[in-house]
Amino acid sequence: MSVTPKKPLPVIIIGAGPVGLCLALYLAQREVRSCLIERFDDQTFIDQEARAGSIHPATLEMLADLGLYERMERRGLIAPKFQYWDREADHMFAEFDHTVLAGDTRFPYVLQCERTKIIDEAMQVLRQSTFCDIRMSTEFVSFTQDADSVEAVVTDTAGSEERIRGSFIVSCEGGRSIVRKTLNIEFEGYTYPERTLTVAINYDFDKARGYSYRNYLSDPEQWSNLFKWTQPERWRVHFPTNIDDAPDKVLSDEHIQTQMQKFLPRDQPYEIVHRTLYTVHQRVAATFRAGRAMLAGDSAHVNSPIGGMGMNSGIHDAVNLGEKLCGILSGRYQSDVLDRYTRQRRHVAVNHTKLQTERNKKLLTEKDPAARQRNHDHLRRTAEDAKLAREFLMRTSLLNSVREAAAIE
């Protein structure tokens, strides 16, 4: 008598951020079932803070494979170039052009497309699949695991509890991961004492001053970043804040207008469309796996947004882990391949994302005039030399980190 093989239990994914959604899409494409838990309802999900938005070439390749690229391109801005400015001396000193990567990637540019648009599009595609059970308005509370399965406890908006069994649980919950805390996994690193102010402005910075769509501004007192987000003229500016300043003061019209006039003086006030303060951490979990529980994205690593790497590397986690989970559930891999996931992706979190974002911050905030000059000269020479520029962009585009991780056994 033939025995029908047992259907594997779904993979439980906590959090429908970019990482959780990309993992669910990866699994659904390969007909692996998942259950995606998200606390927001359909409306609050769309109304979230925009946050991440620079999508690098390595990630664009993955989004294309997930069937998301065309949707993203329609809603984003293609940014082949980015610039470094000396804010103190008020001039641009280095410009990098991704077109030197034309032989390395299908996407020799960065796509400026905010997190909210990514999750909106990814959710629309995922809803077309029968392989993902999407639970909105559902709060993940706790979980347990044994040798063969996991069980997640969730509640609905009325507080009713439900237990969901799965084959694995993947925490894509963001930095405050309950899974990580339950497992007592150390979140090693530190938190910067000062917060960063982000202001969205309607103004033609490119026409007014010749900025590219992505700009990093070094300054011994007040570094800054300036990015264009949407046509015709929505930009985002980031400033550091003083540790002692009260949030109300930092977020006031008066303070922001003063900052903006210092940034680029004009004879009228700026049109401020959004403002927010955020805290920046540099932390990496001691391991990304404990038994059948895995961490991915911000739940595994958080870093400074300078360089735009958090969401990108989180999506790389999702694709890496998705491949291994599919392999295990189809019987091709043993479960110890999940330790390889930790080795590969933790290596990237520590040796690429953390290192590079710390380096970016140091470059923009350097106070010593001689060191500043050396840094600027070095970057200028790198940008002007085709070979050095390609090497530099292979790192910032995250193509190197994906290749390096693939080589780790």
Residues that bind ligand FAD (CB under 6 A): 14-20, 37-40, 51-54, 115, 139-140, 172-174, 178, 198, 278, 297-298, 305, 308-312, 314
For the CB of residue 265, give the shortest distance to ligand FAD in the complex, in Å: 25
For the CB of residue 357, give the shortest distance to ligand FAD in the complex, in Å: 10
For the CB of residue 28, give the shortest distance to ligand FAD in the complex, in Å: 17
For the CB of residue 84, give the shortest distance to ligand FAD in the complex, in Å: 17
* Residue number, 158 or 370, with CB nearest to ligand FAD: 158
CA 98/CA 100 separation, integer angstroms:
5
* Residue number, 76 or 305, with CB nearest to ligand FAD: 305
* Residue number, 282 or 372, with CB nearest to ligand FAD: 282
* Residue number, 23 or 100, with CB nearest to ligand FAD: 23
Contact criterion met (CB below 8 Å) for 398 and 253:
no
Residue with tokens 């695991």: 145
For the CB of residue 273, give the shortest distance to ligand FAD in the complex, in Å: 15
Q: What would the two tokens of residue 116 be?
A: 């909210």
Proportion of the chain in helix, strand, coil states, percent, rounded to 5:
40, 30, 35
Which candidate, 71, 116, 65, 37, places its Cα nearest to that of 311?
116
* Residue number, 357 or 375, with CB nearest to ligand FAD: 357
Q: Quick check: bond before 80 cis, omega within 30? A: no
CA 122/CA 103 separation, integer angstroms:
28
3-class state of residue 212 by DSSP: coil
For the CB of residue 37, give the shortest distance to ligand FAD in the complex, in Å: 5
In the bound state, the residue with its beta carbon closest to ligand FAD is 17
Which candidate, 312, 401, 292, places its Cα nearest to that of 351?
401
Write the CB contacts of 113 (distance below 8 Å, at least 6 apart in sequence).
53, 55, 72, 73, 75, 76, 77
Write the single-letter amino acid at 293. Answer: A
3-class state of residue 320 by DSSP: helix
* Residue number, 306 or 329, with CB nearest to ligand FAD: 306
